[in-house]
Structure 1
Amino acid sequence: MNTVPLEDQLKQFGLSEKEIQTYLTILEHGEAKASTIADDTGVSKRYVYSICEELEERGFVDVDDHIVPTKIQAKPPQEVIEMLSSQLEDIEPVLQQRYSETSSRPQRFDVIKSRVTVIKRLREYIKSAEQELVIAVPEGYLPEVAEQLGAAIDRGVLVLLLISDVDDPEHVLDGIDRPVGSVIRTWQLGMPVLLAVDEQLGIASPAEMVSRANSDDRAIAIVQGQIVPIIASSFLANYWPFAQQHSVVDPVELPTTYRSFRHATLQATLHNKTEATVHVQATAQPVDTDDPFTTLEGTVVETRQGMVEPRTNTIPIEHTIIVETDEGTVSVGGPDSFLEDYEARKVTLERP
C-alpha cells in the first residue's frame, strides 16, 4: 500500500514525520510493544514512549502502561476519523465568523425614494433570510410581504413580526392563509417600517413611505454587519416590549441545531414551558477571552428572554440559556455576549 498520500494528509492535522511514521507502524501491528515499534522505526524506545504519549493525547492511540511491558494499541480508524471530524466542526464557527466579517457581500447604504422600491427591497431581503429576521410593518401592508414571510417560516427562519396600525387584533391575520411569524405581536399605534435580516441586511422607513404613494419621505436600505444589529436591538428594546402578544409557534420536534442564538433561546423557552427536559450542546467560548471554542454540554434549567410572555430578561437585548453542566451552572449567550459566561456560535437542543 502506498502510504505517501496518507502521510501528506496526516501532516495537515499537525503530525510530525516521526509521529506519522510511529502511528503508521502501530496501525500495521494493531497493538505492539515499545521495543517493537522502536525496531521498526529506527528510533530509541524512550523516544517511542514520548511520541506515543503525544499520539494518545491527540486521540490516535491508547497506551496501556498498567502492564509490563507497556503496550500501545491503535484506536479504530472510525474513532479517529470521528475525532478529527469533531475537531473540524469545532473550528467551523470561528472560521465562519471570520469569513462573515470579510464577506464578499459589498457594504451598501441606499436611499429609497418610492413606496414600490421599499416593498420590493423588503421582499428581496426577507427572501434571503437564512437564520432570523425581525420586522415591523403596518397591518394594511402585511399582505405585501406575507408570502415571503411564510416561505421564511417554512425554511426554519426565526421571524419576530410586529404588526402596527392595528384596529382589531383578533382579525389582524384575516386573509393570511399560512403562518407568517414565529412570534407575532400587534400594536395599535403607527411606527416605522423596520427590517433586520441575519444581522447583515436592514431597512428603516417612515410608515408613510408604504402607506402613501406620493410621500416625500425617504427610506434607507443597509447592507452592513455593524449597523444592522442596531436596528434589531432598537426593534427589541423600543417597540417589541410594548406590543401585545398575538401568537406563538409550537415547540419544534427535537433534536434541532441553531446558528441563531435567539431562535435556540426561543425554542428552549417553549420546551421549558411544557416542563420538558432539554439537553443542550453548544460550540462555545468563554466571554472576553481568546480561549478556543469547545463543546459545552448540559441541561437547560432556565432561559432569560423577551421574545414571548412572560418576559424574563433584565434588559431587552438579553437572550440567555442557563445550563447545568457537570462542572456547575453557566450562562450562555450568542455571539459578542457580555452578560453571560459563554458566547455560542452553534446550539443543538435535544431530548435526553
Structure 2
Amino acid sequence: MDDRELADHLEQFGLSEKVVDTYLTLLELGEAKASQIADAAGVSKRYVYSVSKELEERGFVEVNDHVVPTTIRPRPPAEVIESLSENVASMRPALEARYTATARDEERFEVIKSRVTVIKRIAELVGRAESEITLSLPYDVIDEVEDELRAARERGVLISLVISGVEPHDELSLDGLASLVRVWHEPMPTMLTVDSRIGLVAPGEMVARSNTDSQAIVFAQPHLGPVIVGSFFGNYWPMAAEAYISEPDPLPTTYYNFRHAVLQAALCAREDLDLEVTAHGRMVHTDGPTELHGRIVDIRQGLLEPANNSFPVENTLVIETDDGTYSIGGLGAFVEDFEAEYVELKRVS
C-alpha cells in the first residue's frame, strides 16, 4: 500500500487530508518536538499543537506535555488499530438498528418480475417466520420451499397451507409439512403471509410458468397483512378440501398466537378432551380482570371442518369461569368479551 492509499484509508476515519499528512510525518520522525514536526510537514507550530490534541483524543498519538519543550510520540500501530477496531465495533449496534429500520422501509413494497425471485422470496420469508404462516402454492412448486416449511414447522410455527392443482384423492406426502393442509384442484393466486405483517402475492401463472409478464408484490405493512390473511381464510380456505391435520400438541402449552391456541383446542375437542384455559390480556368492552381462567365450553373457528364461525377470521374460545361465561379472542378482538395477549391450555385434571 502506497502513501496515497494509506492516507485515503485514514481519511475514512474522519481525518482531514492535512491532519493525515501531519500524522504520517510524525510516524516517520518518531517522537519529536512540535517545531520539528512543523518543519517536516510544512505547517505552523500552532497547527501541530492543535492537531496533536485531536490525534491524541482519537488514540493515534501521545502528547508528553510534562516536559519542556512538549514532545509528541506516535502510538504503536498495533495499539492504534486496536483502538480503531473498538471504535468501529462500538458503532455496530447503532448502525444495525438504523439499517434494520431502513430495510423495513424498503421492504414495504417490492415488485418482482421473475418466477425464480418469487420462489426465493417465499423461501426467505418462510425462514423468518416466528409464529404463523398462511400460504397457497401450486403442487409443482412445493418441493422448492419444502425444507423451509418443515424447518418452520419444527420451530413450532403454525402453518396453514393450501396446495392448488391437486385433487382430494391424490396421495401426497404431507406429514410435517404444515399444521393444516387443504387441497384444491383449481388454480389460485400464490398468497403468503408471515406473522400477519409481511408477505407476498403473485398471480398463479407467474409461479406455475417462467415465461409470463405477470408481476408479484412483496409487502411489509402491519395493516395489510391481516387483510391478506382474511382473504386467505375467507375466500380460498373454505373452497379447498381438508387433506392433512397435525396431531395435538402436548399440553400444558402457552400460545402467543391465538389462532394456534384455537386450533389446538379444536383438535382436542375432536378427541373429546376437556381443556381449561388461562388467558392474559384485557376486557374489550368493560373494565375488569386482566386474567381469566376457566373450562372451555365452546369453540368458534374455521380452521377445521366443520367450520362454525360467523365470519372468516373469527377464532373464539368460550370459557366458563367462577364468575360467569366469557368469550375470548386474540389481539384485535372486537366481538369477544376478552382480548388475549397469550393463553395457556391444559387438560382438565
Which category describes the TM-score, using the shorter chain as reference length? Answer: 0.5 to 0.7
Misfit runs of 4+, over 4 Å? none
Which residue in 2 is equivalent to 1:304?
Answer: 300
- 1:324 maps to 2:314: no
TM superposition shift of 1:170 = 2.5
2:309 to 307, 313, 316: 313
**8 Å CA contact 1:118, 1:210 repeated in 2:** yes
Which residue in 1 is equivalent to 2:71?
Answer: none
Distance 1:292 1:109 in 2: 41
Number of residue pairs aligned between Structure 1 and Structure 2? 246
TM superposition shift of 1:172 = 3.3
TM-score (norm 1): 0.67
Which residue in 1 is equivalent to 2:134?
Answer: 134
**8 Å CA contact 1:169, 1:186 repeated in 2:** no
Residues 121 and 292 (structure 1 numbering): CA distance in 2 closer, same or farther, change over 3 Å? Answer: farther
TM superposition shift of 1:293 = 7.0
TM superposition shift of 1:292 = 7.8
TM superposition shift of 1:145 = 1.1
Gaps of at least 5 residues in structure 1 are 1-102
Which residue in 2 is equivalent to 1:199?
Answer: 196
Please show how residues 79-118 of structure 1 align to structure 2 within 5 Å.
Answer: 104=101, 106-107=104-105, 108-118=108-118
**8 Å CA contact 1:183, 1:249 repeated in 2:** yes
2:283 to 269, 282, 286: 286
Which residue in 2 is equivalent to 1:343?
Answer: 339
SS of 2:123's equivalent in the other structure is helix
TM superposition shift of 1:247 = 1.2
Summarize deviations over 1:220-249 as a string: whole Å, max 9, x none: 001111101111100000000011001101
Residues 110 and 288 (structure 1 numbering): CA distance in 2 closer, same or farther, change over 3 Å? Answer: farther
TM-score (norm 2): 0.68
Residues 293 and 119 (structure 1 numbering): CA distance in 2 closer, same or farther, change over 3 Å? Answer: farther
Distance 1:322 1:167 in 2: 35
Amino acid of the residue matched to residue 318 of structure 1? E
TM superposition shift of 1:198 = 0.5
SS of 1:163's equivalent in the other structure is strand
- 1:226 maps to 2:203: no
Distance 1:330 1:196 in 2: 30
Distance 1:182 1:119 in 2: 21
Gaps of at least 5 residues in structure 2 are 1-99
Distance 1:169 1:283 in 2: 42
Residues 165 and 251 (structure 1 numbering): CA distance in 2 closer, same or farther, change over 3 Å? Answer: same
